[in-house]
Copies of this chain bind each other. A is one copy, B any other.
Amino acid sequence: MRESQAHRGTPCNTPRLLRLLNTLRPTLPDPRGPAGAGHPAGPGGGRTGRGTPVRDDEGVTSPTPLRITALAGGVGGARFLRGLLAHLRASGDPARREAEVTVISNTADDVVLHGLRISPDLDSVMYTLGGGIDEVRGWGRSQESDGVARELAAYGAGPSWFTLGDKDIATHLVRTRMLAEGSTLSQATAVLCERWRPGVRLLPMTDDVVQTHVDLAAVDPALHHGEAGGRRVHFQEWWVRLHAAVPALWIEPVGAATATPAPGVLEAVTQADALILPPSNPVVSIGTILSVPGIREAVVEGPAPVVGVSPVIGGAPVRGMADACLASIGVPTTAAAVAGLYADFLDGWLVAEGDEAPTTPGLVVQHRPLLMSDPTTTTALAGAALDLALAVDRKDRAA
């Protein structure tokens, strides 16, 4: 069916939705989302292709494209997902090559600074997969400038510890404006992705406001840049300003208990052929996503096997300060202990060579190189995770 192929390959015209923005009126994106090339249906979109055999260019009937759903945080998740897409698009198997990937993004790192709604994890995934990421820092835009930030500093308008580049600010302006005009975070994300075309369906975990707050232990200000602790701060202040060096007594995704999953999230979990947990922070990224009522239940009860990649290698986090987060909940920084956080649903677990395998009954553990130090290694790691997901038996998760 050349038509089907042609439809998939049709480049999108200037996005309708963005032209609407020019009218200065509230923008309500098509709830089925954009239909551009490489961009599966948006939030709430039907999966009408499901069950329809796909033929390749020779007219040979192929297996149904895989549906893969990942729960992801920021930098580590984004890099893993880039490897996953590279693996899929280069695959000789049409079911993988045509696979639809949905990413459920943590939004509890979101923060409002200078009146701008900033969604660090959504943006890290969007920029990384869309080719706009700063490869050196791993976050923010490439070839960024700081014209606005320097002026904000000249006004004495803080905080100074959170870097906002000019290009990045444009993203936040579009998002903030849409939210102010009544759009949801899902809709704003879909509009932003119209430009970046990340090649995945990118969904916030919720359209409700959830913010991770951290109760700081009392500490000696002389040792912590004047911070005495003993107070509650936004996650970003703990993470970025204090480098998570002040011990956290308690980490809480405020608002999560009353949040509802964003449109498409539960369906993406329950209709997936494979659920993947990239090496994202088990507490403040994946843990937070799972704390939105309904999501963990869908993961546990859904039919898809779940395979994760350990964010811990040899007792230390691969990136970031996951050890500080794990300590706050009394969990050791080991690959085995992190697997324990997912014990109610995890079917497969990739750990680094030399790391101890967890002994969870029914859990299939494989040792693999986990350091995503280059595209080849990352692609291989993502492929291994998918291979394992398609190989393991979904374990019995008796209700």
Return the contact of A156 from the options B145, B149, B152, B195 (Cβ within 8 A). B195
Report if A155-B18 is in contact (Cβ < 8 Å); known contacts: A147-B147, A167-B147, A167-B148.
Answer: yes
- Which of A59-67, A69-77, A173-181, A283-291 interfaces with chain B? A173-181
Within A110-163, the residues touching B (CB, 8 Å) are 113-116, 144-145, 147-152, 154-160
Cβ of A14 under 8 Å from chain B:
yes
CB-defined contacts of A46 to chain B, threshold 8 Å: none
Cβ of A331 under 8 Å from chain B:
no
- A147 to B, closest residue via Cβ: B166
Assess the B115–A158 pair: CB atoms within 8 A.
no
CB-defined contacts of A152 to chain B, threshold 8 Å: 170, 173-174
Assess the B22–A177 pair: CB atoms within 8 A.
no
Report if A114-B195 is in contact (Cβ < 8 Å); known contacts: A18-B155, A166-B166, A169-B169.
Answer: no
Report if A148-B170 is in contact (Cβ < 8 Å); known contacts: A19-B156, A22-B156.
Answer: yes
Return the contact of A157 from the options B21, B149, B156, B166 (Cβ within 8 A). B21
C-alpha spacing A24/B112, complex, angstroms:
9
- A15 to B, closest residue via Cβ: B156
C-alpha spacing A259/B115, complex, angstroms:
26
CB-defined contacts of A150 to chain B, threshold 8 Å: 170
Cβ of A171 under 8 Å from chain B:
yes
A-B contact pairs, 16 of them (CB 8 A): A14-B156, A15-B156, A18-B156, A21-B156, A21-B158, A22-B159, A24-B158, A116-B173, A144-B147, A148-B166, A148-B167, A150-B170, A155-B170, A155-B192, A156-B194, A169-B169
18 extra interface residue pairs, beta carbon distance < 8 Å, beyond A148-B169, A148-B170, A152-B174: A18-B157, A21-B156, A114-B177, A115-B176, A115-B177, A116-B173, A145-B147, A145-B166, A147-B166, A148-B166, A148-B167, A148-B173, A149-B170, A151-B169, A155-B171, A156-B194, A156-B195, A166-B166
